[in-house]
Amino acid sequence: MKEGFITICGVPTHITTWGRWIEEDLVDVPEIVLCIPGNPGLVGFYTEFLHLLYQQLQQKIPVWIIGHLGHEESSENSETEVPCLKGNEKVFDLDGQLQHKSEFIQRFVPANTKIHLIGHSIGAWMVIQLLEHQLVRERVTKCYLLFPTIERMVDSSNGWNFTKIGVPIYNILGFAIPLFNRLPKFLQSLGVKVYFWLLNIPKTFIDTALEYSKAPVMEKVVFLAKDEMARVRNLDCNLIEKHLPLLKLYYGTTDGWVPVEYYNDLCSKFPHIDAELDKEQIDHAFVLRNSGNMARIVSRMISKYSNSLK
């Protein structure tokens, strides 16, 4: 595994790879796996899942992940800094994130290297939108949309909780986040450990959670989520129809963002769509507790379309 910050769209971006680094010569690499995360888009939440996926793929296909703009502060040796949200809203909204991913693909994925494109949650919506960029679409072999928030986000139970409860609480108590950031590191870690203990979240994510808890990061995460609630409403049937052969969708059965009703409606509208309903009670935020199961499931999907594994 190798990771670092690369400036994309003028903003330092956290990249992690298994197999080949993005700046290496990829002329002999026929295909890669690229993951676009959900929100929050911190790559640390996905490292266990993608490490296991790389192992499941017999280490024959490089696996990459690109973090979202502004969802992590740059490293100390980065040449640029992440700008503040105020005055740069168009950099960090959904359109800005799409431009960010498109530029990354065009800069670092050779035209003759095919992409297995994974999108989780809002990353699935981004993947479908990216297929409208010809220079991206012509590189893509298949898209794997995991627990896809591609419609009616605000109408879901989690969407209601976020807009009616989460946002008001954040607006009232958001001042406490900078105060938390000023605490000694060991007290911050202790607070996160207690929170993780209450929710039964593995301790391996503590460092990533501390990064997430930084006030400039959290405000951009919340800002993007608000944009999702406003933008991701009706299913874009025209895009689904247009790119149907490239799409593989995986829905959960206990998903507060994407209820089973959405899966049933999609299959009713598109009887021949390649969509699958989870049978293992895997959570929407699978990277926290179900990385092994999802790595096995996604590797099975990729194996069907990979020439490197045949």
Distance CA 68, CA 40 (A): 8
Residue with tokens 């989780």: 120
Which residues participate in catalysis according to the annotation?
Answer: 121, 255, 284
Alpha helices in the chain (DSSP H): 47-56, 89-92, 94-108, 122-130, 134-137, 157-161, 167-173, 176-181, 185-199, 206-212, 215-231, 237-242, 260-269, 286-289, 291-305
Distance CA 67, CA 222 (A): 15
Residue 289 in tokens? 């507790």
Torsion, Cα of 16, 104, 62, 277 (10° steps): 90
100 HSE (CA, 13 A, CB side): 28
Distance CA 115, CA 193 (A): 37
Say if residues 293 and 55 touch (Cβ distance below 8 Å): no
Biggest alpha carbon distance in the chain? 56
Measure Cα distances from 141 to 57, 156, 191 in Å. 16, 31, 43
Q: 194: Cβ–Cβ under 8 A, 6 or more apart, which residues?
A: none
Distance CA 249, CA 165 (A): 30
